[in-house]
Structure 1
Amino acid sequence: MPAPAPADSAALVWFRRDLRFDDHAALHHALRNHSRVFCAFVFDRAILDPLPRVDRRVEFILRALGELDGALREHGGALIVRHGFAEDEIPRLAAELGVTALYANRDYEPAAIARDAAVRRRTATADFLDFKDQVVFERDEVLTQGGTPFSVFTPYKNAWLRKLEAAHLASWPVEPLAARFTVPPCECRLPTLAELGFETTDLATLPLPVGMRGAQQLFRDFVERIDDYADRRDFPALKGPSYLSAHLRFGTISVRQLAGYAHAQGGRGAETWLSELIWREFYQMILWHRPQVVDHAFKPEYDVIGWDDAPALFDAWCEGRTGYPLVDAAMRQLNRTGYMHNRLRMVAASFLTKDLGIDWRHGERYFAEKLLDFDLAANNGGWQWAASTGCDAQPYFRIFNPVTQSEKFDPAGKFIRRYVPELEQVPDRFIHAPWRMTAAQQQECGALIGRDYPAPIVDHAAARTRTLERYGRLSQAS
């Protein structure tokens, strides 16, 4: 039975990174504490206005909202959707609806924290209540024995696992309380992409189901192969990952469901995947404690690194024409699909920072524009890891060799050929470094280096030496 609620007490639930109907902390608490519950989402112009007009993420959100609105309507409610600045729209809507409380799930990004603070100040007639939902542990919940934030992952992971109890993975049910959803007095319809100022993308043609049902479909598929995750996850030509990253980013699936399953399942595959979920929370924790990492190195001394100003090389990296097949395949996958395999994110980031000597912030911004699953904390943490400027970062003297990475993780060149079709006829023994073919061999397989496929834009061995000198000077100075 639903919990008792004050007579004629109304609340507004503000959806953000939690576009699902069930196991939703803010929604659960609003329904328990109020007899009438309205639900809203704001296409926030502070986020949307700077985006390119073709952006898969906007369409992903819009389609997820359509499913969420349908679920709410089945239970007597509807989703109010606004397009404007959230710090204006939410206080205005709370006043129009006459609610006594505003409910939301917490966001840990600096801009979101500032936005929520502004909403809290401007929502004069309603209390603003927020809840932990997008992580299992947040903020100060996992600290060192000295009470300070961790800066190395493995001790954090061990402390995370020691702290974990069944209650941390319990869901926040909505269904039993759903009778309290209320149809708003205002018009409720989803805008079109055109009304938001965006163009239709190719999202519908990509092999990524969207919305809550899409997330559950992907999860069921992954459950069937999770035991092989540890062995397959680093090979981009194999079906190894869960492909749930975008759904985690937009909250169309609950992290408690995922972490709970992995923890209960056990075994090498599930434990490895749970470790990846913990990495996500590690970076969220770092961002909350050290928001300066958005623009600066986690290790302040690395802010003085003398990066190269090389726009032509950066453009070649962005467009997937570096002459290193695995790097180019990775970048073309990103540009074509909005997704990049996790191993390849490390390879591509290492190549930009260690081979081309270009500031990690340029690469981070490019990924932020292109990735469907873009998450500030994870993207920043991953780039600073690759650039050796972050917490628990790869030591600067460990530099990925793009050829040996290719040989190890795409040995037959299957992934490379998928995204770099001009190398389709190149024999396996040359697919990782096609410039090593003789002119006759290049002619025979229709891949003339410099004409059909670019020559390497940088010599890896020479670039490695320059990188060691660049970071070595910094180490000596400190």
Structure 2
Amino acid sequence: MRFLLNSLADIDSQLKAIPNNGHGLGKLYLFQGNPAKIFRRLNEQYQLNKICFEQDCEPIWNRRDDSVRALCHELGIEAVEKVSHTLWDPRTVISTNGGIPPLTYQMFLHTVEIIGPPPRPVEDPDWEGVEFLQLEESMLSKLNAFRNIPSPEDFDIVPENICYVAKVNWQGGERQALLHLAERLKVEERAFKGGYYLPNQANPNIVESPKSMSAHLRFGCLSVRRFYWSVHDLFKNVQIEAFYHHIQMAGGEHITGQLIWREYFYTMSVNNPFYDRMEENPICLNIPWAEPNSEHLERWRSGHTGFPIIDSAMRQLLAEGWLHHTLRNTVAMFLTRGALWQSWEHGLQHFLKYLLDADWSVCAGNWMWVSSSAFERLLDTSLVSCPIAFSKRLDPKGEYIRQYVPELANVPQEYIHEPWRMSQELQEQCECVIGVQYPERIVDLAKVSKRNTLAMKALKQALIADGAPAEGPPHCRPSNAEEVHQFFWLVD
């Protein structure tokens, strides 16, 4: 909420800085209530001619937007809806693919290639001659408008997790987003010159301040088209420079791959209001997860599983509202097919509540993929990220773990990923007695891994017995094994 309000305050301050022909400064008006009812009252007072809004393609917002469209039709107001939250209009992608969503990423790439490159971002608007309306106090009162940009406390929202110290304080707003983009492009440029792309994926760094743009994209602080074309233009310039210096460079067809995956998940959800659940979701395999285990779920949510990389990640989420995507995959796999065998729906709801960048479509799509419920090729657990091995690879010195799990601050590097291996004497010396200062492991990984593998095999055999093909029933799946390895950052 604070990030959103930062973003609105940034818009308001930019509007107030616009000269307004002597009619006063611009202002962002914020109303709380049903949009259609508010527009109806505004129309009664000011006779509206046009209402402009951004397309929100996710089906969970259809009722809201349909009510505004219906109002405009009823009152003869022009409704202008623009596609700007995505690179392409998902409905255009679906119609180009013959009326159905592309079932694989490669099919999606083929479809958008037919459509053509996304439009470039437009320039800043020319405000010359624009007059800003000043609403009367009586109208503000009638419409329950905020006089100033509200705070989270105005909505009775207070910090939940004051026991966790945030290492990164995210700030919303276009100006912050553009500063962040400039830093991100420096990282992209170093990667291009070093002969690789997608640096956040190729060489994930979970210790330094994140360079992710996802929160800014989610709230519209940064145009996704600006991000897309900034990276592509940068790559082209680096290519030209390399050509003049006779340096070979890899092709750039995947340099914005993560943005394309975002588009893919949006497209898959656009006509599916049940995309965030198992029941009635046509693309989701109904894996028979265990009954909800309240203790396991609470220990996972709060970061007290006894596995350091899981606990540090879950505590970072609570403190900062963000996680590197490799960590998201790790904690999601641990909750579902990797260890606890709990439904991905529990994890999705937790992520939607706490993640700054939690797009409904992208977040649900990732959870279905990681849990093998959709977007996966095979129903098995062979490609499982072991939290211990992954932790040693991603955070070899334990710097990240110590940032978010202070109970392990004194644990030697040799044991930081497996503190239960310390002798009782060493545990006492480090003030990290397992079961006292730091929790026992929530499960025996070897046992649950075997159990989960057998459960997946049994489900696959049951589906085949019901007539499904050997590779599993028809559903959304990766185009090839390379996609899976890139997505999960797996070792060959």
TM-score by length of 1: 0.80
Look up the match of 1:218: 180
After TM superposition, the structure 1 = structure 2 runs for residues 6-155 of structure 1, keeping only pairs within 5 Å, are 57=1, 59-75=2-18, 76=20, 77-123=26-72, 124-125=74-75, 126-142=77-93, 148-155=100-107
Where does 1:337-348 land on structure 2 (aligned, <5 Å)?
337-348=320-331
> Would you say 1:313 and 2:275 are equivalent positions?
no
Q: Distance in 2 between matches of 1:309 and 1:248?
A: 33
SS in 1 for 2:357: coil
Alignment-mate amino acid for residue 230 of structure 2:
Y
In structure 2, the partner of 1:367 is: 351
Which of 279, 291, 307 matches 2:261?
279
Q: CA deviation at 1:474?
A: 1.6
Q: Report which stretch shifted further, 399-408 or 318-327.
A: 399-408
More displaced 10-residue stretch of structure 1: 152-161 or 200-209:
200-209
Alignment of 1:69-468 (within 5 A): 69-75=12-18, 76=20, 77-123=26-72, 124-125=74-75, 126-142=77-93, 148-157=100-109, 159-160=111-112, 163-165=115-117, 168-187=118-137, 189-193=147-151, 196-199=154-157, 201=159, 206-226=168-188, 227-228=190-191, 230-231=198-199, 233=201, 235-239=204-208, 241-266=210-235, 274-296=256-278, 302-303=285-286, 305-354=288-337, 355-392=339-376, 396-397=380-381, 398-468=383-453
How far did residue 334 of structure 1 move? 0.3
Q: Which moved more, 1:354-363 or 1:119-128?
A: 119-128
CA distance in 2 between partners of 1:350 and 1:71 (Å): 43
Residue type matched to 1:93 in 2?
Answer: L
What is the DSSP-based 3-state SS (H/G/I as helix, E as strand, rest coil) of the residue aligned with 1:103? strand
Shift in alpha-carbon separation, 1:111–1:186, aligned structure 2, 3 A = farther
Determine the C-alpha separation between the residues in 2 that align with 1:382 and 1:394: 16
Classify 1:210/1:273 alpha carbon distance in 2 versus 1 (closer, same or farther; 3 Å).
Answer: farther
1:45 is matched with none
Q: Which moved more, 1:468-477 or 1:358-367?
A: 468-477
Contact between 2:420 and 2:434, CA under 8 Å: does it hold in 1? yes
Q: Matched residues, percent identical?
A: 28
User: Displacement of 1:142 after TM fit?
Assistant: 3.1
Per-residue deviation, 1:468: 1.6
1:473 aligns with 2:455: no
Aligned AA (2:108)? Y
CA–CA separation in structure 2 for the residues paired with 1:252 and 1:259: 14
| Deviations, residues 7-32 of structure 1 (Å, cap 9, x unaligned) | xxxxxxxxxxxxxxxxxxxxxxxxxx
d(CA) in 1 for partners of 2:378 and 2:171?
Answer: 34
Paired with 2:391 and 2:131, the residues of 1 have a C-alpha distance of 53
Could you tell me whether the CA contact under 8 Å between 1:426 and 1:445 is conserved in 2?
Answer: yes
Once the two structures are TM-superposed, the CA of residue 174 in structure 1 deviates from its matched residue by: 4.0
Unaligned stretches of 5+ residues in structure 1 = 1-56
CA offsets per residue over residues 128-183 of structure 1, 9 Å max, x none?
22111111112133357655321222442354356443xx3322334325532422
CA contact (8 A) 1:236 1:415 kept: no
CA distance in 2, matches of 1:475, 1:262: 42
CA distance in 2, matches of 1:174, 1:360: 41
- 389 and 86 in structure 1: CA distance in 2 versus 1, 3 angstrom threshold: same
Please, which runs of 5 or more residues in structure 2 have no aligned partner?
21-25, 141-146, 192-196, 236-248, 464-492
Letter in 1 for 2:155: G
Change (3 A) 1:300 1:426: same
What secondary structure, in the 3-state scheme, does the structure 1 residue paired with 2:30 have? strand
Give the Cα separation in 1 of the matches to 2:385 and 2:376. Answer: 17
* AA in 2 matched with 1:420: V
Whether the 8 Å contact between 1:138 and 1:281 is mirrored in structure 2 is no
Which residue identity does 2:275 align to in structure 1? V
Report if aligned partners of 2:60, 2:273 keep a CA contact under 8 Å in 1: no
Measured after TM superposition, the shift of residue 322 of structure 1 is 0.3
Moved more, 386-395 or 463-472: 386-395
Deviations 1:48-72 (A, max 9, x none): xxxxxxxxx2x22222112212222
Of the structure 1 ranges 294-303 and 82-91, higher mean CA displacement relative to structure 2 is found in 294-303
State the alpha-carbon separation in 2 of the partners of residues 437 and 218 from structure 1.
Answer: 42
Q: How many equivalent pairs are there? A: 419
Distance of 1:99 and 1:232 partners within structure 2: 46
Counterpart AA for 2:214: S
Residue 20 of structure 1: aligned partner: none
**Which region of structure 1 is more displaced relative to structure 2, 67-76 or 204-213?**
204-213
Distance in 2, Cα, partners of 1:95 & 1:268: 60
Q: CA RMSD in A?
A: 2.7
C-alpha distance after superposition, 1:87-114 (max 9, x if no partner):
3223333443211221111001222112
The answer as to whether partners of 1:328 and 1:420 remain within 8 angstroms in 2 is yes
2:278 match: secondary structure: coil
Q: In structure 2, what residue type is equivalent to 1:242?
A: K
Structure 2 counterpart SS, 1:425: coil
Instruction: Output the amino acid matched with 2:32.
Output: H
User: What letter is aligned with 1:428?
Assistant: Q
